Amino acid sequence: MTELNGQLTIPCSAETGVEFTNTQSSDVTFKFTPSGSFSAASFLPDCTAAGMKDFKYQSVMTYPNNTSFALLAVSKQTGAVVAEVGQETTLVLKPGETLIFIINDVPNCYYDNTGSITLNWSGEAQQPRSGILQVAANDLSGTPWTNLANNSVRVQFTASGQWTYNPGVGMHGAGGHPRYLNAGRGYRMTGRPEGALIARRGNGSYEFVGQQGVLTVAANEKISLTINDDEGGVQGAGFRDNQGVITVQWNVVP
């Protein structure tokens, strides 16, 4: 699981708040922990991120349905208040989703506020359940796929499209060339079809995938999808003459 963390400062005089975006390519569970205090007006006692309950001008706040002077998380996309962040708060953000952290004050009355709230945050990227990859026949390093979870997962890979490890024998699918089922010396996986889709494991060993296969991928393991070819050019041109790209749909399965 990818560990993320950092700190934001929310100046209490910031009428437009401070933006926070999930820049990861998967859903992330974030934990936000506010600290510090500020002054919203000289005639009021200092406030924390929890704000001030039962403030008598509650109805004229920017967000009248939320606690006066509380730290709010507002969705940039919808404008709706997602949560009051008066204490440690856990929120899940989709890729690219943005929150605006802002103190709930009266519009045009932010300018006299002093102090700021410190917001410590930590996040854990969630394992997506499916996706699509492209694997190019001439890419020596292959297309990576990483298990972000802290446990092993079973992943089904289903290939479509055509490629070739040797233009002299024509294009073929991810199952490999139907006439050359028993790759010899120099190939990444000997004894398996030439030109088949295979996976290089985190430990450097290879596993067969073909047109469709299920691999058990260890916690945090990074595998690479690639073609079964003669990598060092022992028998031919190696990866230099390879052509085509196949599409691989992947799904986490039980």
Q: Cβ(1)–Cβ(66) under 8 Å?
A: no
Residues 6+ apart with CB under 8 A from 76: 19, 97, 98, 99, 100
Tell me whether residue 64 or residue 167 sits nearer to Ca ion (CB atom): 167
- Least separation in angstroms between residue 177's CB and Ca ion is 11
- Least separation in angstroms between residue 79's CB and Ca ion is 55
Residues 214-243 that bind Ca ion (CB under 5 A): 229, 241-242
Question: Which residues make beta-bridge pairs with 30?
Answer: 91, 123
- Least separation in angstroms between residue 163's CB and Ca ion is 10
Residues 132-191 that bind Ca ion (CB under 5 A): 165
Q: Cβ(151)–Cβ(160) under 8 Å?
A: no
> At residue 28, what is the residue type?
V
- Least separation in angstroms between residue 132's CB and Ca ion is 25
Q: How far is 1 from 4, CA to CA, in rounded Å?
A: 10
- Least separation in angstroms between residue 199's CB and Ca ion is 18
Tell me whether residue 105 or residue 229 sits nearer to Ca ion (CB atom): 229
**Under rule CB under 5 A, how many of the chain's residues touch Ca ion?**
4
H/E stretch holding 156: strand 153-160
| Residue where the block lists tokens 């890419």 | 139
Tell me whether residue 27 or residue 139 sits nearer to Ca ion (CB atom): 139
Tell me whether residue 86 or residue 236 sits nearer to Ca ion (CB atom): 236
CA–CA distances in Å: residue 207 to residues 36, 189, 228: 54, 8, 10
Tell me whether residue 84 or residue 229 sits nearer to Ca ion (CB atom): 229
Residues 92-131 that bind Ca ion (CB under 5 A): none
The values of phi and psi at residue 59, to 5°, are -70, -15
Q: Which residue is nearest to Ca ion (CB)?
A: 165
Tell me whether residue 30 or residue 165 sits nearer to Ca ion (CB atom): 165
CA angle centred on 231, ends 217 and 164, rounded to 5°: 85
Q: How far is 199 from 207, CA to CA, in rounded Å?
A: 5
Q: Cβ(166)–Cβ(236) under 8 Å?
A: yes
Tell me whether residue 124 or residue 229 sits nearer to Ca ion (CB atom): 229
- Least separation in angstroms between residue 233's CB and Ca ion is 8
- Least separation in angstroms between residue 186's CB and Ca ion is 10
Chain residues in the site for Ca ion (CB under 5 A):
165, 229, 241-242
